[in-house]
Amino acid sequence: MSQVNSNSALVGIIMGSKSDLPVMQDAADVLKEFGINYEITVVSAHRTPERMFNYAKDAQGRGLKVIIAGAGGAAHLPGMVASITTLPVIGVPVKSSNSIDGWDSILSILQMPNGIPVATVALNAAKNAGLLATQILATADDTLTVKMQAYKDELRRKVEESADSL
Ligand SMILES: Nc1c(C(=O)O)ncn1[C@@H]1O[C@H](COP(=O)(O)O)[C@@H](O)[C@H]1O
C-alpha cells in the first residue's frame, strides 16, 4: 500500500492491518472524488508502535491536515495517534473477522477520555470519514466548500426524485 496520491498529501489514511483496506478504500475514493491529495498506509499501535509514534509525530510537519484512522477489534490506533498529534483524527471502527459484531472497535474508538477526542464515525463508515475530512479542509478552501455544497444538493435531488416517483 503506502500509496501517496501526490507529494503534498493533506489527508493521511491509516489502518491497523491491510485486512481493513476493503473498508478504508471508501475514504480514499471520496477524497479522490473531491480532488484532495491523500496518502494511505498500514500503521498499527499494537504491532508497529514505533511506526505509529513516528507517523503521528511527523504528520503535521509533513503537511497533513487531517488523519483518518481505521481499526478493528481492540482498536487503539485512532486514540493513540490522537494522543500524539494536534491534528484532528477521524476514527473508523472496522468490523474485523473475529469481532464482537463490531462493538469492540466502536467502543474502543468512541469512548475516549476527556482531552483526547477522536471524531468517530459509524461502523465501517469510511465514506463518511472521507466526507468529514473534506468538510474540515473546506473550512479553509472555498472551492472545496462549493464542491461539498454541490454534493449535498445532488443527494437532496436524488431523494426528492425518489420521493416523487413513489
Ligand atoms: N486494532 C488494531 C490495531 C491497533 O489498534 O493498533 N492494529 C491492528 N488492529 C486490528 O486488528 C484487526 C485484525 O487484523 P489482522 O486481519 O491483520 O489479523 C484489524 O481490523 C486491525 O485493524
* Alpha-carbon separation of residue 57 from 18, 24, 94 (angstroms): 22, 22, 24
Q: Which atom of ligand 1 lies nearest, measured to the CA of 78?
A: 5
The pTM for the full model equals: 0.95
The cell numbers describing 6, all together, are: 501526490
Query: Which ipTM value was assigned to this complex?
Result: 0.99
Task: Fill in the DSSP letter of residue 139.
Answer: T
Phi then psi dihedrals of residue 15, to 5 deg: -145, 155
pLDDT tens, position by position, 89-122? 999 999 988 889 999 999 999 999 999 999 999 9
Q: What is the bridge-based pairing of β-strands 38-42 and 3-4?
A: antiparallel
47 is in an annotated binding site: yes
36 CB within 6 A, ligand 1: no
Cα–Cα distance for residue pair 34/37, rounded to 1 Å = 9
pLDDT for position 129: 99
Kindly give the distance from the C-alpha atom of residue 17 to the centroid of ligand 1, in angstroms, as a whole number: 5
Q: Is 63 left (phi over 0), alpha (psi -120 to 50) or beta?
A: left
Contact 132, 145 (CB under 8 A): no
Residue closest via CA to ligand 1's atom 12 equals 72
Cα–Cα distance for residue pair 58/51, rounded to 1 Å = 11
76 CB within 6 A, ligand 1: yes
What percentage of residues in the chain have a pLDDT greater than 90?
Answer: 92
